[in-house]
Amino acid sequence: MITLFHAPQSRSSRIIWLLEELGATYEIRPVSIFRPMTGKGLPDPANPHPDGRVPAILDDDRLVTESVGIVLYLADAFAAAGLAPVPGDRRRGEYLGWIAWYATELEQAMFAGLSGALAQSPGKQRDHAAVLARLRNALVEGPYVMGAEFTAADVLIASALGFGRSAFPDDEVLDAYVARCRARPAAIRSLARDDQSGLQVAA
């Protein structure tokens, strides 16, 4: 049984989306977090995350933290759902590359764009342009970053873009990708569950 420690409209929302895509049975355990944008909220003593953050999951008694760690863990644990090429599959390397790219390139470029740090740093501008070009090139082919196949990498990338779209220029290709991902039935179901508390979802 998977238990997700969740705060509404945060990085744990994407894990609800993933769990819905995977057809998993899971429970949402709502926790409070500190919200830096408003300065409000306190870490919840009921949250097992060592930093009091979300997302965190318990798989029975096994704790997994970090969006990337959780996405890799769940997509492999529910391999039958087909959201992750399994070890040995020739697409596995590309898949891992996109997930690492999300964590090390996309997040940095997005927050540089959102914070205004771009304007002061030619290095960040170069990285930002590279992120945009790589994403666009993949999505012009599309419809997902790995082509025809929707993978768990799209959950990370599309959810980040959904939050930080304004960090990048107007672009029909990016907008269509975010809209396409948001229109997936699992994404729509996850929105309805984002704000509900104490919920148990049976597959």
Ligand X SMILES: N[C@@H](CCC(=O)N[C@@H](CS)C(=O)NCC(=O)O)C(=O)O
CB of 41 to ligand X, least distance (A): 8
By Cβ distance, which residue is nearest to ligand X?
53
- Which part of the chain contacts ligand X (CB under 6 A), choosing from 28-36, 84-92, 93-101, 108-116? 28-36
| Cα-Cα end-to-end distance for the chain | 11
Nearer Cβ to ligand X, position 53 or 193?
A: 53
- Which part of the chain contacts ligand X (CB under 6 A), choosing from 16-24, 32-40, 110-118, 125-133? 32-40
Q: Contact between 111 and ligand X (CB under 6 A)?
A: no
At CA 17, angle to CA 15 and CA 22, rounded to 5?
90
Q: Contact between 54 and ligand X (CB under 6 A)?
A: yes
Nearer Cβ to ligand X, position 54 or 157?
A: 54
| Distance in angstroms (rounded) separating the CA atoms of residues 92 and 127 | 25
Q: Contact between 6 and ligand X (CB under 6 A)?
A: no
CA distances from 61 to 23, 48, 57, 143 (A): 21, 11, 9, 37
CB of 201 to ligand X, least distance (A): 21
Q: Contact between 125 and ligand X (CB under 6 A)?
A: no
Q: Contact between 34 and ligand X (CB under 6 A)?
A: yes
CA dihedral 116, 109, 72, 3 (to 10 degrees): 10
Q: Contact between 66 and ligand X (CB under 6 A)?
A: yes
| Distance in angstroms (rounded) separating the CA atoms of residues 139 and 177 | 7
Strands of 62-65's sheet in order across = 62-65, 56-59, 2-6, 26-30, 200-201
Nearer Cβ to ligand X, position 5 or 78?
A: 5
Of these, 4, 15, 33, 146, which contacts ligand X (CB under 6 A)? Answer: 33
Q: Contact between 14 and ligand X (CB under 6 A)?
A: no
Nearer Cβ to ligand X, position 41 or 147?
A: 41
| Distance in angstroms (rounded) separating the CA atoms of residues 43 and 148 | 40
Q: Contact between 52 and ligand X (CB under 6 A)?
A: yes
Residue that is written with structure tokens 């399994």 in the block: 86
How many residues appear in the chain?
Answer: 203
Residues that bind ligand X (CB under 6 A): 10-11, 33-34, 36, 43, 52-55, 66-67
